């Protein structure tokens, strides 16, 4: 039973359908890779992170 955690910039949630669409897309990807039974048992968590708290290398935001 896979557990997938997705972190994105929180402003993505301005679209009220974003989280639902992300969960559906990730679940579909799990299903295509691992089969229907695994996809049906997958858990997907989508979290928003403020841009000023996101860093890559030495860059923030």
Please write the tens of the pLDDT for every residue from 19-55.
999 999 999 999 999 999 988 899 999 999 999 988 8
CA 46 from chain center: how many Å?
4
Quote the CA–CA distance of 39 and 2 in Å, as a whole number: 8
Average pLDDT score over residue span 2-10: 95
Buried b (16+ CB within 10 A) or exposed e, 30-61: beeeeeeeebeebebebeeeeeeeeeeeeeee
What residues make up the domain containing 35? 3-51
What's this model's pTM, rounded to 2 decimal places? 0.83
Quick check: helix, strand or coil at residue 22?
A: helix
Q: Structurally, how many domains does the chain consist of?
A: 1
Is 46 domain-assigned?
yes
Residue 57 inside a domain? The answer is no
Whether residue 61 has pLDDT greater than 70? no
Domain CATH number, residue 24? 3.30.429
The answer to whether position 61 is within a domain reads no
Q: Is the pLDDT of residue 58 over 80?
A: no
Quote the pLDDT of residue 22: 97
Do the domain assignments include residue 7?
A: yes
């Amino acid at each position: 039973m896979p557990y997938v955690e997705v972190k994105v910039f929180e402003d993505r949630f301005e679209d009220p359908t974003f989280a639902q669409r992300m969960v559906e897309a990730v679940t579909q990807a799990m299903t295509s890779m691992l089969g229907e039974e695994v996809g049906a048992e997958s858990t997907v968590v989508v979290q928003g992170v403020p841009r000023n708290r996101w860093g890559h290398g030495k860059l923030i935001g």
